[in-house]
Structure 1
Amino acid sequence: MIRRARAGAEEKNPMPLDHIQAAGATIAVRTQGAGPAILCLHATGQGARDYDRFAERMGDRFTVLALDWPGHGDSPAEAAPASAARYAGILAGAVAALGLSRVIVIGNSIGGAAAISYAAAHPDRVRGLVLCDSGGLAPVNLVARLYCRHMARRFARAAAGDRRFPDWFARYYRTILPAPAADWRRDEIVAGGPAVAGILAQAWESFARPQADLRHLVPALAMPVFYAWGRKDRTLRWSWSKAAALKAPNRRVQLFDAGHAAFLEQPDEFDRAFAGFAGACP
């Protein structure tokens, strides 16, 4: 069931907002445009707002839907901890609740990992898969586990009230989204950082577990797959994920002059690449 919610100020919520029930969670969904469906999944600590301007640019050709994961944006928090596996379950529930049959899925970071799991399990429902600096493709080795647990502890301290966190988080996000085109969204994410620090701690802890390694699923991704990766991404470097990514049978790769989200940082270049990919999807 979809429940219509009253949006906030037009400047803050330009995309119409609904709420759905998906896998036991209440999920906010922003929708704009008309045409074939694109379902957009954001990184932990960010939100569906990431895709507002993409939806404005694509709305004359596509119906763009963007989810807020639990505890992000306009979705209430839930008891279940954040992880790609949990988000894949929510994604499955959302696709069913929205009545989507053949959809292009764009997934960024943990959203990409959730999209990989969903697409491997439901290939008949995914027309194409766009993975933007996706989780799940790099080995979960000792170095990765140590780094992820270090980040989890840092965000756990922030959730407990670390007063140094806002300044650190602002510096951190200048490395995550370094391009000027993303300034508008980076400022919003940084301002909301303390509210989602606990969820970020959960997500980073989940990245250190063996279940976060989804490399074995890639050969089963029979649909067209587009890897849109930022050359400047320090968190998920393309070189760490390349070997697994190239095992997708029907893939294309483009590297952008961006950090963690090319659609925010290099919008014109990303739009051109996406339009070419979507046009080639069956």
Structure 2
Amino acid sequence: MPLVTTTIGALFVMRRGQSGPPLVCIHGAGGSARHWGLLLEPLAAVAQVYAVDLPGHGRSPAADGPITIAHYAQAISALHTALGLPPAIVLGHSMGGAIALQLAVDAPQMVAGLGLVGSAARLRVAPALLTGLAGDATARHEAITMLVHWLFSPAADPALIAEAAAEYAALDPAILLADLQACDGFDLRPQLAAIRCPALVVTGTDDKLTPPKLGAELAAGLGVAHHLLANVGHMPMLETPSQLSQRLRSWIKALAEEESLA
């Protein structure tokens, strides 16, 4: 595809897979569809995969309006409509999980299931990160160094950490700051009980940004099991793509079988 025209503007989408349920993949703050790259082919074995660059990220142009979780959810809704998809499984990482949750509240008819990786119903952000990213070049560098340090498990490949440091340093700092401010203002805890679709919650045991406690609270609020990945930080799709893809594929296959029986 690459660019899809929607009512909120063009969105870049990476597509894989020809059969199975539609699976819309949403990246986290400051990220892009590239973060799902190692999972695209494995997931394409069980789903039609659509990995999107949110407005102003990756290869998607910026859209008008404020940057909030609700507005990002509207962008995913617009993409779903533009693609003419049936109810889709929505897979979100971190901020992407918040967007998926918001979409399940705002447009439940579009959501057949929620895959939530390294996410939570309340995404508080360390004030030092927000202050640093809003500061001068030195403060921004220190904030990004702090963020990258928190993204990965101590067991992670140092090459991954170095690659992430270069990626986040090259970002427009205004986009990263706006994303993190959107996360900091997000709190869907009072509405979790209204979400009725199947869900999978996955957290790394070494996740410093959305630690296991928050994943457990999210799973409890949705009434589903909480799955932990041992010795993994906030970026399981990069740290342990095979383990994460296996868990996601098993869940998607089971969900598709249940839907077909229904």
TM-score per shorter chain, which class? 0.7 to 0.9
Taking a change above 3 Å as real, the CA distance of residues 123 and 267 of structure 1, as seen in their structure-2 partners, is same
The residue matched to 2:49 in structure 1 has which SS?
strand
Which residue pairs with 1:4 in the alignment? Answer: none
> Which of 42, 51, 55 lines up with 2:40 in the alignment?
55
Structure 1 126/79 Cα, relative in aligned 2: closer, same or farther at 3 Å? closer
Residue 116 (structure 1) aligned with residue 91 (structure 2): no
Show structure 2 runs of 5+ residues with no match.
none
Q: What is the Cα deviation at residue 265 of structure 1?
A: 1.6
1:229 and 2:203 equivalent? yes
Q: CA deviation at 1:263?
A: 2.5
Aligned to 1:34: 18
Q: What is the root-mean-square deviation in Å for CA atoms of aligned residues?
A: 2.4
Q: Following TM superposition, by how much is the alpha carbon of 1:67 offset from its aligned partner in structure 2, in angstroms?
A: 0.6
Residue number among 239, 255, 258 corresponding to 2:228 in the alignment:
255
Percentage of identical aligned residues: 24
1:150/1:171 CA distance change after superposition, 3 Å: closer
Distance 1:271 1:204, change over 3 A: closer
TM-score after normalising by structure 1: 0.80
1:89–1:224 Cα change, 3 Å: same
Alignment partner of 1:82 is 2:67: yes
Closer, same or farther in 2 for the Cα pair 1:93/1:220, shift >3 Å?
Answer: same
Alpha-carbon contact 2:203-2:215 (below 8 Å) kept = no
Q: 1:27-75 CA distances to partner (integer Å, 9 max, x unpaired)?
A: 1111112212211000011110011110122223322110101221101
| 1:266 alignment partner, one of 222, 240, 243 | 240
Output the CA distance in 1 between the equivalents of 2:248 and 2:88. 14
TM-score normalised over the length of structure 2: 0.85
CA positional deviation for 1:151: 1.9
Number of positions where the alignment pairs a residue of Structure 1 with one of Structure 2 = 253
- Cα contact 1:149–1:205 (8 A) shared by 2: no
CA distance in 2, matches of 1:245, 1:265: 22
Q: Which moved more, 1:41-50 or 1:218-227?
A: 218-227
- Partner of residue 169 from structure 1, selected from 112, 136, 144: 144
1:90-129 to 2 correspondence within 5 Å?
Answer: 90-129=75-114
Instruction: Flag structure 1 segments of 5+ consecutive residues without an equivalent.
Output: 1-16
Task: From the superposition, tell whether residues 205 and 148 of structure 1 become closer, same or farther in structure 2 (CA, over 3 Å).
Answer: farther
- Indicate the residue corresponding to 2:180 in structure 1: 204
Q: Deviations over 1:144-163 (max 9, x none)?
A: 4xx54432221122xx5x04
Please state how far the C-alpha of 1:119 moved relative to its aligned partner.
1.3
**CA–CA distance in 2 between the matches of 1:80 and 1:153?**
23
Closer, same or farther: CA 117–234 of 1 in aligned 2, 3 Å: same
Maintained 8 Å contact 1:34/1:61: no
**Paired residue for 1:9?**
none
Between the aligned partners of 1:253 and 1:241, the Cα distance in structure 2 is 7
User: What whole-Å deviation, never above 9, does each CA across 1:154-211 have from its counterpart, x for those lacking one?
Assistant: 1122xx5x046446524531430335469458615633434331112112223333xx
Equivalent runs, 1:206-221 vs 2, <5 Å: 206-209=182-185, 212-221=186-195
Shift of 1:262: 2.0
Distance 1:238 1:63, change over 3 A: same
CA distance in 1, matches of 2:72, 2:222: 22
Q: Report the equivalent of 1:156.
A: 134
